[in-house]
A and B are shown apart, each in its own frame.
Chain A
């Protein structure tokens, strides 16, 4: 049921030979998605939009690979997978998401080969990140990006790193583990990715204590609704009067649903898919999941409406929704949805603490 124009665009993306062409195709896809926004159901809209993003990223990595070959750096010495974290991992990218990415590659047989592989993938990630930047994806501010050596590792080192994080379990490690929970394969060997995820969950099972730390991290962002049921808006500065949809509505829900899913060892990464899986696993009821999904979809919609600044050719967005975008009905719905989100946060807290007591 994909839009025919988009299908055509996807085909063109997968055949594009130049980044300039990819940029043009992205712009075209954006205007198409803009046109579809009012008519498409929101989950369908996000599915199609993220299909476009995946295609663009896939193609950009392939072009990076080709360019390395052309410039004499050679071809991949071992199989690898290009991974997406963050909103990309959750298939929740907007028109202005940044790059959260990583690379996992197969262990080489000898030390010498491993060194060569490391060298190659350092070049590849650098090239891929640069190309994606040209297509308008700003690099991740938190430096969760394939060009960062911490996120570009051979399989054995990835596993060591995961174990290290589970071992340390400090605030930063827990943040990384939650990032890995949203990890999704977008290009290259799917098998490598599957093994990584499997390792993640077996480590997880061995250390139930980590869940308590994850809970602290998960409920850190508060739903932006006050005790009188009022919206908690920005007080000062150029965004005064706007509401921080990203960190005051969307992220708290993502976090809560992720924690429930991770505890139940559920593999889907998108928030809506996770909610469905949670119903299957009988962690939440059908009604609860329906309410949560509805609220979440509303946040996704507002996130699309939130201000977009085009800075230096990058598609950017600070996740804050200006007051003038909101009609009276929308404010009412936002308040209701925030209350639902608050309920979800309470449920996660109860569920997690309850499990720990057992």
Chain B
């Protein structure tokens, strides 16, 4: 033991003087390195959110579709990555563009090492942005669940990650026309969440509700997901991942601003979960777990735009209202007979809109200056100006994604077919699209009962 220690200490002593002769890295170099490390970590967290979506979607749907619902996420994540590398990134962040779209950086080939004063590694920034694009894609799948053909996932991935999402990202983050106007969307309530939800809305309208969701008299049936524990774990996955999503979006650690962003994120999410639980309890007489989970997510979605622009009390208000909003939004879509199996429209759509608008109300002048985007909101003496900009960005981005997605999916519907046949839907997409069930034993039993 003693011998070992002496050896170690000796080795270290030999090393240290040697290091003193090497060139010390400059502060800028260290800074870039630390930023890159932080954003890389954040990117990993955001990519892990795909795990959250796998569990969320699979848990919220039925056993017969579980393998398909879970597996297709990895497939589209893979395909989406290739498309984003080839095309999407260039449209979002290419340097030779205009206010509408970027050009350049197609089939992106980043520098191997970062330059001293880059501020952030280019390849890390790419991975971080790619993670965002594919999260938006996974949100859109909420509208496809349990009845869309696998081929439609393939085609839509190409269009969504290649063009639709990158355009919106360019407008708000890539120096596009909404960025010029000062639209505040720190980590993507609009860019990521509303875009995903608008695509989901287009899909679910074109697909029509799942078999058995609505009755002839207009009432709806509850198609319960097969595993509420998955759904709950999914929310925790997403919640944790969201620290990468929001706090990572500072893309720097210099002043430690990411800590404040993380702080706002946490209390808003907490408020969302609590508010949704209480509101469902008060209105239904029984507290609804699914609503509570959606409330937590809605709090996260809403604070995504505003986490860098508002004070803590406002973060709590934004989260609380998001939790309440998600409950009524779920009811609203059900009333409208729009089937929303994963609640993407309410969680990412309604809360995304609310979070983006909230900036126009609660953004403080100091924080707007720190973030370097836009102005103060209505409650901080900014008047209606910022609120108008926020409103505009919501309407324009929401409509753009909805219309283009609708058009693309409509073409798919007419040309190749969008929805599986009734028989396939009844036996489950695991079997119809992949040939094997995700839960073989259970489904075999169900089949036997069906035949008996």
Contacts and interface: CB of A to CB of B under 8 A. Distances in A.
A101 B222 CA distance: 36
A164 interface: no
Nearest to A248: B285
B16 interface: no
Interface stretch (B213-221, B341-349, B376-384): B213-221
Nearest to B283: A226
A111 interface: no
A222 B285 contact: yes
A51 interface: no
B219 A236 contact: yes
B285 A237 contact: no
B219 A237 contact: yes
A224 B285 contact: yes
B220 A240 contact: yes
B284 interface: yes
A237 B284 CA distance: 15
A309 B282 CA distance: 32
A35 interface: no
A236 B222 contact: yes
Nearest to A223: B285
Contacts of B221: 236-237
A159 B285 CA distance: 41
A238 B284 contact: no
A309 to B, nearest CB: 15
A235 B221 CA distance: 8
A196 interface: no
Contacts of B282: 226-228
A226 B222 contact: no
A247 to B, nearest CB: 12
Interface residues of A, number: 14
B219 A241 contact: yes
A232 interface: yes
Contacts of A226: 282-285
Nearest to A225: B285
Contacts of B283: 226, 228, 230
Contacts of B215: 237-238, 240
A226 B219 CA distance: 21
Contacts of B219: 236-241
Nearest to B331: A235
Interface string A160-194: 00000000000000000000000000000000000
Interface in B271-329: 282-285
Interface in B211-253: 215, 217, 219-222
Interface residues on B, range: 10 to 19
A238 B222 CA distance: 11
A232 B284 contact: yes
A261 B424 CA distance: 59
A228 B280 CA distance: 12
A230 B283 CA distance: 8
Nearest to A237: B221
Nearest to B217: A238
B361 to A, nearest CB: 26
A241 B221 CA distance: 12
Contacts of B285: 222, 224, 226, 232
A227 B281 CA distance: 9
A151 B275 CA distance: 49
Most buried by B among A230, A235, A239: A235
Interface in A198-256: 222, 224, 226-228, 230, 232, 235-241
Nearest to B286: A232
Contact of B222 (A232, A237, A241): A237
Interface in B180-233: 215, 217, 219-222
Nearest to A236: B222
A240 B221 CA distance: 8
B441 to A, nearest CB: 29
A239 B221 CA distance: 10
B220 A236 contact: yes
Nearest to B215: A238
Contacts of B222: 235-237
Most buried by B among A230, A232, A240: A240
A227 B222 CA distance: 24
A236 B221 CA distance: 5
Contacts of A224: 285
A226 to B, nearest CB: 6
A155 B278 CA distance: 52
Most buried by A among B215, B217, B219, B282: B219
A240 B222 CA distance: 10
A232 B282 CA distance: 10
B211 to A, nearest CB: 15
Contacts of A222: 285
A228 B282 CA distance: 7
A170 B217 CA distance: 43
A224 B285 CA distance: 8
B136 to A, nearest CB: 31
A230 B331 CA distance: 16
Interface string A105-136: 00000000000000000000000000000000
B33 to A, nearest CB: 54
B240 to A, nearest CB: 32
A355 B217 CA distance: 50
A179 B261 CA distance: 60
Contacts of A241: 219
Interface string B370-400: 0000000000000000000000000000000
A284 B40 CA distance: 71
Contacts of A237: 215, 219, 221-222
A357 to B, nearest CB: 30
Interface of A: 222, 224, 226-228, 230, 232, 235-241
Given A226-B283, A232-B285, A236-B219, 8 more contacts: A222-B285, A226-B284, A227-B282, A230-B283, A235-B222, A236-B220, A237-B215, A238-B217
14 contacts: A222-B285, A224-B285, A226-B282, A226-B285, A228-B282, A230-B283, A232-B285, A235-B284, A236-B221, A237-B219, A237-B221, A237-B222, A238-B217, A240-B219
Question: Which A-B residue pairs are the 8 nearest by beta carbons?
Answer: A240-B219, A232-B285, A236-B222, A227-B282, A236-B221, A226-B285, A237-B221, A236-B220
